[in-house]
Amino acid sequence: MNKAFTRERDGEDEDDDIALPPLPPGGKNYITPQGYARLRAELLTLIDEERPKVVEAVHWAAKNGDRSENGDYLYGKKRLREIDRRIRFLTKRLEIAEVTDPSAHHGGEQVFFGATVTYADEEGEERTVTIKGIDEAESAQAEVSWISPIARTLLRARVGDVLQLPTPAGTHEIEVVAVDYPAPPVSD
List residues bridging with 110 in a β-sheet.
Answer: 158
Q: With the CA atoms of 123, 125, 130 and 134 taken in that order, what torsion angle do they form, in degrees rounded to the nearest 10? A: -50
| Residue of 39, 132, 163 lying closest to 89 (CA atoms) | 39
Check whether residue 153 and residue 121 sit in a common domain: yes
Check whether residue 166 and residue 131 sit in a common domain: yes
Are 180 and 124 in contact by the 8 Å Cβ rule? The answer is no
Q: How many CB atoms lie within 10 A of CB 111?
A: 25
Check whether residue 35 and residue 58 sit in a common domain: yes
d(CA 42, CA 93): 12
**Is the residue at 91 inside a domain?**
yes
pLDDT in tens, 149-165: 999 999 999 999 999 99
pLDDT, residue 99, reads 93
pLDDT in tens, 111-124: 999 999 999 998 98
**Is the residue at 17 inside a domain?**
no
**Is the residue at 188 inside a domain?**
no
Check whether residue 175 and residue 107 sit in a common domain: yes
Check whether residue 72 and residue 138 sit in a common domain: no
Q: Last residue of a domain, which of 99, 118, 141? A: 99
pLDDT in tens, 126-149: 999 999 999 899 989 999 999 999
Check whether residue 109 and residue 160 sit in a common domain: yes
pLDDT in tens, 9-57: 544 444 444 454 556 666 678 999 999 999 999 999 999 999 999 999 8
Check whether residue 61 and residue 115 sit in a common domain: no
pLDDT in tens, 52-110: 999 998 888 888 776 667 778 888 889 999 999 999 999 988 998 999 999 888 888 89
Number of structural domains, the chain? 2
Check whether residue 113 and residue 176 sit in a common domain: yes
pLDDT, residue 176, reads 95
Q: Last residue of a domain, which of 48, 64, 99? A: 99
**Is the residue at 20 inside a domain?**
no
Window from 2-11, 24-33, 167-176 with minimum mean pLDDT = 2-11
CATH of the domain at 38: 1.10.287.180
**Is the residue at 67 inside a domain?**
yes
Range of the domain at 176: 102-180
Check whether residue 114 and residue 176 sit in a common domain: yes
pLDDT, residue 15, reads 45
3-state secondary structure of 69: helix
Structure pTM?
A: 0.74
Check whether residue 130 and residue 170 sit in a common domain: yes
